[in-house]
Structure 1
Amino acid sequence: MATLVLGALGTLVGGPIGGAIGATLGRSLDSTIIGSPRREGPRLKELAISTSSYGQPIPAIYGAARVPGTVIWATDLKEDRETSGGGKGKPKTTTYNYSVSLALALSSRPVQSVGRIWADGHLLRGSAGDLKTAGTLRIHTGHADQMPDPLLAAAIGARCPAYRGCAYVVFEDLALEDFGNRIPALSFEVFADPATRIVDEIAQQQGLASRRAEFPELRGFIHDSGSPAAVLSLIDRLRPLTALSGKGRTLIEGGAQPSGEIPLLPAAAAWGEGDFGRESGTALARASSPDRVLSALRYYDPSRAYQPGLQRTDALQTTRSAASVLEFPGILSATDAHTLLVRASVRGRQGGETLAWRTCELDPDIGPGSIVRAPSLSGLWQVDSWEWREGGIELELVRYAAPPTASQAADPGRGWSPPDRPAVRTSLRAFELPWDGTGSSEIARRFAAISAPDGRWSGATLYRTSGDGLVPLAQSGRVRAVGGTLIDMLPPSNALRLELSASCRVALLDHSADLEPVTADGLARGANRLLIGDEIVQFGECKAEGDGVWRLTGLVRGRGGTEIEAASGHPSGAPVTLLDERLMELPEGINLGEPGQIAAIGLADSDPVLATLEAPGRTRRPLFPVQPRCVSDGAGGIVLGWTRRARGGWPWLDEVEQPLVEQVERYEVGLGEPENPARLWTVSEPSLALPAPEIASLAALAPGASLWVRQKGSFAVSPPLHLTILS
């Protein structure tokens, strides 16, 4: 507050310079009156990124931890270009993708494994070990038999180090498309040997002995700054340690617990030397404001993806100036952190009461760390230090208070965690659709339905097969087509009207996909079209039944000239695809060859996913005629008639004749099997007259044979329409 007030006042009086002076005075006043919390330990890193600076310390990892890593080798960005599209006057599209290879050191001591990897806060590698983007990852744990990485050895040569004793990872051709074509900020979940015995490890490294120094609450520890003694001092704040000297070796011992008969201090002795106890040999003191009482603990919380957590204690009401925050670079659960903080606060508060004791007797069971009783004083005391003097031994003791044994549950807070979804394989279906009346009627409308089940899927690259190789066509993007399979058999239909009571059940591949109901007007405008097998079906109502299963009712069958397919029905398991804007149209003019296969390759596809083009030639195939007629001419002959339909002419307007679409109007009328007719007529209008003598000769040529008609288009002929049977 004083900072704001004096800063504003100084600005009014002396302008910007006066404001700066006033703000400085205000901060000093605020610090004097309010104070600021005192911090101990290395400051925890809120957000650390990978660096490549010389002299950057590589941390020693104990247990589980999250570290950014240090770049120790890298290549330049590698550019890959891929050209797709083109044909029929359309331009080709060139896509540029970038990748990089790099190595990062994680720990200056061996580790057991590497878990999750984050890139720009999102998961690059999941808990199952799956990379979320293209590339190869190799992990080197740093043991003594570690060999050089093959990529580094190929790039550096015979002088390539093996980095024994240092754990590192190597990314080879890591795709950067998802990170703006730059190297992202990386961090790694590292698992080393259990951190519960970190004191034993450090003591052994320094040539010291240790005993009863386990730290069971510690899940991990990051030693990236400070000496081993500083690390032990940090641990001592939460898990008391005692250093003992004897037999030419120093022993690090864990905090003692009172058990059995508590020893009694020998009688106090007085001598004239020293600063206290010249008459009694003892001195009792109490600090008015203990400066080692912890009020808060910052640590790394594994439930929040190893981000810093904060626990506070209200066991001691302290002013802000007396508050002390311990920055502990260890990995703890919220409950364990709070429990350790409460115990440390109790020890700090009791540590304000000290006892100095002189004695001339030597008890071998009493030394630093021992819990004792003092004659004529209540409670327990713990020996903090001792000093040998000419007249005897001086002991420094602090009041001992048993720490709380019960753990109080603590809330780690709420943090966002990126989804860890496994990569899933690509699903591919390719088909040709009838012409919709837009654009050119001479260009085949071929589509690919590219999708994937629930899971992580970033799209796929589409290819056409060419001999033994693949030729790229386009990138699908992340949008998934909606598709699945038919659960129950769909019975045949005459495809004449809206079937309100008809229904079918479909199982969608992507359970998160939604279907929407439409009105009759929507159906008339072509909404909610499904490709079931080779039949186009519309639905009006839909109801989700769970797990990706939908019941569709109010069906309109045989749309787009697929009445023949509707008359056959569809078995259970038939493919189902929603015909909407999520389909990917194949480039015009490409030659798919035989048997007309395309392929898709996504991140999780170890082999290309192949699909054969369904209903090839459907776009340019004429529709078969309708409304067959056979009338007598009154002289023993017959007149055959039919009504022409047109590709793309789906709105049937009574006052307007159907467009021709084909270059000329031609029909083939045949007798017998369409593949091998006994007689064939070609006419240019939708009728054919057969006089009585010709009928008689035809009946003798092929008795009981069928007369049929089909339209002959510019590129293909339509399926036949039955007209009559000659008897």
Structure 2
Amino acid sequence: MATLLLTAVGTILGGPIGGAIGALAGRQIDNAIVGGRTVKGPRLKELNVQSSSYGDALPLHFGTVRTAGTVIWSTELVEHEETSGGGKGRPKVKTYTYTVSFAVALSSRPIGSIGRVWADGNLLRGSAGDLKVGGTMRVHTGHGDQAPDPLMAQAEAAGRCPAHRGVAIAVFEDLELANFGNRIPSLSFEVLADDGCTVAKVLETILPEADCSRIDQAFDGFSIDQGAAGDTITAIGAAIPLSAWVDRGTLVLAHADRPPYTLPVLAEPSATEEDGGRAPTSAGWSKRREPLPQIANCAIRYYDPARDFQPGFQRGKGRSERGELQVIDLPAAIDSDSARAFADAAALRRSHAMERITYRTAEIDPALLSAPLVEVPVARGIWRIEDWEWQKDGVLLNLAAVPALQGQTTATASTTDPGRYNAPADLAITPTLLNAFELPWDGSGDGNQTPLYVAASSSGGGWRGAALFGRKTGGAPGLVSLGPAAARRAVIGQTIGALAAGSPMVFDQINSVDIQLASTDFALTDADVPALLANAANRALIGSEIVQFGKATPLGGGRWRISSLLRGRGGTEWAIATHGAAGEPFVLLDDRLTQIADTQAGEFDEILGVGLNDTTPAAATIMGTGSALQPLNPVHGQAEVLHDGAVRLSWVRRARGAWRWLDQVEVPLNEESESWDIVLGTIETPLARWAASTSTITIPAAQLPPGGSGSATFLVRQIGRNSMSRPLAIPLP
């Protein structure tokens, strides 16, 4: 009712603009009496879900906000087939992946840029502009010179693809969907629409002819997704009281509790003869205090930039007694301190008893038409003109006291807690690093296979894996797909100094070596003796030698010193003396390695890895080629000269994969047959050669070279199915 009455009065006094002001004032009175209507303006949404419905309104964004957007164009899912394996009796494995291209409309006004992007709540695009999955993203900011997106223009018929000028859109091309269940994920975007966001800019955008320069309140961001201009003003005014008046034909909006001008003072009240001078206003004014409202406190719901624009909640300081809590939804991005200040100010306005004055004056100051806040000579404080009424003996004004709120809507100290939020890590995607090698057979699985191990890693935690390819020996054209690398980064690095020689028979408590790991977040751990011996803990490949370390000491900056070493593990004691200068590769042998089990020795001479955002493939030459099938060299060689001049040689056989040396159990052969090659002299130029099928041989004196052979040595090698072992040297007695 008040809305209708004050609209009519405002139209008579101020024309159409006056009618708008009257409607606004009347709406506030109606809300206080009969309750507010459902506002269809900007709203704070708990879950901002991406949509693709026809007719959806595109929002206006100011400052920095997070929004879901609307899918306006999309292709069908594109299937990609990749074949890995095959050849030499190995099965071919076909894998299928899917990509899609689509466009998302974000704002119905131009923006500056796009920051982060979330997909199903996880970070899809970092603050540096890097996509965390395969694909390409292009941003069209919506300015007047915007051209059609080339992909959309190519996909649509000529003349059917608009440039979408005035609309900011994001276009994804060939976005990989493996991480999203092969569907378009629910996206939300960090929109950087402007360098800053003020309430004045928001209001002047929707009311271009209004003067909003007196409003100095700033937000981090604000969005208008529905409703008329009046609904937006109502949504803002719920947290920031606004006053409106007409100044020389221009609608003026300003703070209702912080006037930026010198307040006019009303003339002295004028008495009236109404009711024989016994009416409450017979003296020209009367003051009353309204009962305490049912609202005891107020709270603000808002978007918190510190929590990736998730909804926040701050409660103000209201009355201590029981009462209602009024929650104000402010669809703005603000920090927790500002939200708390707004909540405190709202609680002061709405939870305390209001003082009112009915004031009659016979003089009309023209300044009152442009100043809804005034001072009166009969009371202290600031008073707001709620409404006025022309009467026969003057103008009757209804005044409401304005609480002393100056400074209370601006945060001055970080005293509030925005709440805990586990933000997804925004880690840069760093280049791929590779090491590839064969290892001696560990005794598990098929001993006739030659598994290839790839240590794929990177210097940063944002690395998402890599696709592996093998390059055939002999310069054969093309690459062979080996599938993906393990998603977890392998712990790799390089030696800073050379590892000195030691004995494989005892713990090496003397030597140590410093390692520079590839990433500063890699860590090595200590291990006790039972773990080293029983569980093969802390195995590492340094050059060609496998070691185990019992102690790892951090030196800072990704540098570690390993000591308490077991040397020459896995039959690599021959490599103890091969360490040269610094810079040898270091690889921690754990479950983070990628095992490619169906390769054959010598099939590849180089492994390539291509990760996301790699400009050039990472390449690694395969180390230790053939070590998986190479027999271990025998040990404990002895030579004995018999009475007839013959020489008896004996040695102890070792076997691939048999590392435990169990008592009362014969060492398994793990070869097709036991066969030995014995030479006197050197492998390249032997003085004599013999063959044996057991780990002992007697050489007649007649087969030995004549005296004077000097320091000739017997070399004993086991013959395996694919290669010979390294030789055991037995000096000629």
Q: Does 1:497 align with 2:537?
A: no
Q: Deviations over 1:167-188 (max 9, x none)?
A: 1111112222112222222111
- Aligned sequence identity (%): 40
In terms of mean alpha carbon deviation, does 713-722 or 262-271 score higher?
Answer: 262-271
Matching residue of 1:5: none
Aligned positions of 1:459-608 closer than 5 A? 459-466=465-472, 467=476, 469-509=478-518, 511=521, 513=523, 515=525, 517-520=527-530, 523=533, 526-542=536-552, 550-569=560-579, 571-590=581-600, 593=603, 596-608=605-617
Distance in 1 between residues matched to 2:662 and 2:417, nearest whole Å: 70
Counterpart residue identity of residue 542, structure 2: I
Deviations 1:260-308 (A, max 9, x none): 975421234568999x998555454543355899722221122222122
Alignment correspondent of 2:144? 144
Cα separation, 2, equivalents of 1:317 and 1:368: 38
| Alpha-carbon offset, residue 254 of structure 1 | 4.1
Once residues 272 and 590 of structure 1 are traced to their aligned partners in structure 2, the CA distance between those partners, rounded to angstroms, is: 115
Aligned equivalents of 1:105, 1:719: Cα separation in 2: 68
Between the aligned partners of 1:649 and 1:501, the Cα distance in structure 2 is 28
- Tell me, in whole angstroms, the C-alpha distance in 1 between the residues paired with 2:535 and 2:422: 44
**Who is 1:162 aligned against?**
163
| Counterpart code for 2:438 | E
* Residue identity matched to 2:502: S
Counterpart of 2:575, as a letter, is E
Mapped contact 2:204–2:212 kept (Cα < 8 A): no
Residue 77 (structure 1) aligns with: 77
Check 1:215–1:73 CA distance in 2 against 1; reply closer, same or farther (3 A cut): farther
Question: What is the CA–CA distance in structure 1 between the aligned matches of 2:301 and 2:508, rounded to whole Å?
Answer: 67
In the other structure, the counterpart of 1:375 is 377
Match of 2:632 among 612, 623, 628: 623
| Aligned-residue offset at 1:42 | 5.0
User: Does structure 2 conserve the Cα–Cα contact (< 8 Å) formed by 1:421 and 1:456?
Assistant: yes
Structure-1 residue corresponding to 2:128 = 128
Aligned 8 A contact 1:268 1:282 in 2: yes
1:242 paired to 2:243: yes
Query: Mind listing any 5+ residue stretches in structure 2 that lack a counterpart?
Result: 1-33
Between the aligned partners of 2:51 and 2:601, the Cα distance in structure 1 is 50
Kindly provide the CA deviation profile for residues 305-333 of structure 1, in whole angstroms up to 9, marking residues without a partner as x. 21222222233457645x53321111111
Q: Which digits, 9 at most, give the CA deviation of each residue in 1:495-541, with x for residues without a partner? A: 22333555444454463555462434751564443222111223345
User: Tell me, what secondary structure is at the counterpart of 1:620?
Assistant: coil
Structure 1 range deviating more: 133-142 or 670-679: 670-679
Letter in 1 for 2:596: L
| Unmatched tracts of structure 1, length 5 or more | 1-34
Note if contact 1:213-1:241 (Cα within 8 Å) is conserved in structure 2: no
Task: Name the CA shift for 1:719/1:206 in 2 (closer, same or farther; >3 Å).
Answer: same
Report the residue type matching 1:695 in the other structure. Answer: P
SS at match of 1:146: coil
RMSD: 3.7
CA drift at 1:552? 3.9
Partner of 2:302: 299
Q: Which residue of 2 aligns with 1:6?
A: none
| Shift in Å, 1:494 | 3.3
Aligned position for 1:23: none
What amino acid is aligned across from residue 689 of structure 1 in structure 2? I
Q: Which moved more, 1:141-150 or 1:511-520?
A: 511-520
Query: In the alignment, which residue of structure 2 is the partner of 1:219?
Result: 220
Pairwise CA distance, 1:73 = 0.9
Q: Offset at 1:217? A: 3.7
Is 1:721 equivalent to 2:728 in the alignment? Answer: yes
- Do the aligned partners of residues 231 and 294 (structure 1) sit closer, same or farther apart at CA in structure 2, a change above 3 Å counting? farther
Following the alignment from structure 1 to structure 2, what is the Cα–Cα distance between the partners of residues 536 and 357?
96
Name which of structure 1's ranges 483-492 and 171-180 shifts more when overlaid on structure 2.
483-492
Q: Kindly tell me: are residues 525 and 371 of structure 1, through their superposed partners in 2, closer, same or farther at Cα, counting changes over 3 Å?
A: closer
Contact 1:543–1:551 (CA under 8 A) maintained in structure 2: yes
Gap change, CA 1:313 and 1:461, over 3 Å in 2: same
Segment drifting more, 161-170 vs 453-462:
453-462
**Number of equivalenced pairs:** 686
CA distance in 2, matches of 1:195, 1:128: 20
Alpha-carbon displacement from aligned partner over 1:359-418 (angstroms, at most 9, x marks no partner) = 443434443435433233333323445677897655443223321536463222223322
Q: What secondary structure, in the 3-state scheme, does the structure 2 residue paired with 1:443 have?
A: coil
Instruction: Report SS of the residue matched to 2:379.
Output: coil
Aligned mates of 2:145, 2:578 — CA distance in 1: 68
The one-letter code of the counterpart of 2:583 is G
C-alpha distance 475-273 of structure 1, shift in aligned 2 (>3 A): farther
Residue 28 (structure 1) aligns with: none
Measured in 2, the distance between the counterparts of 1:612 and 1:250 equals 76
SS of the equivalent of 2:597 reads coil
Residues 194 and 219, structure 1, Cα contact 8 Å, conserved in 2: no
Deviations 1:194-242 (A, max 9, x none): 5543434533553413243344341111111221122123323333433
Contact 1:635 1:692 in 2 (8 A): no
Q: Is the CA contact (8 Å cut-off) linking 1:271 and 1:281 kept in structure 2? A: yes
Alignment of 1:182 onto 2:183: yes
From the superposition, tell whether residues 578 and 630 of structure 1 become closer, same or farther in structure 2 (CA, over 3 Å): same
SS of the counterpart of 1:458?
coil
Check conservation: 2:243, 2:372, Cα contact below 8 A.
no
The equivalent residue for 1:18 is: none
Query: Which residue of the other structure, out of 717, 722, 730, is the alignment partner of 1:710?
Result: 717
Give the Cα separation in 1 of the matches to 2:296 and 2:370: 21
**Counterpart residue identity of residue 447, structure 1:** Y
1:287 match = 290
Greater shift, 604-613 or 70-79, is seen at 604-613
SS at match of 1:379: strand
Q: Deviations over 1:569-599 (max 9, x none)?
A: 45433222233444322132457645x1112
In structure 1, C-alpha distance between the alignment counterparts of 2:380 and 2:506, rounded to whole Å: 99
Distance 2:425 2:603 in 1: 42
Please tell me whether the aligned partners of residues 464 and 487 of structure 2 are also in contact (alpha carbons under 8 angstroms).
yes
The alpha-carbon distance between structure 1 residues 698 and 585, as it changes in their structure 2 partners (threshold 3 A), is farther
Q: Which amino acid aligns with 1:463?
A: F
1:52 corresponds to which letter in structure 2? S
Q: Give me the whole-angstrom Cα distance separating, in 2, the residues matched to 1:194 and 1:658.
A: 76
Alpha-carbon spacing, 1:381–1:661, altered in 2? closer, same or farther (3 Å): closer
Tell me which residue corresponds to 1:611: 620
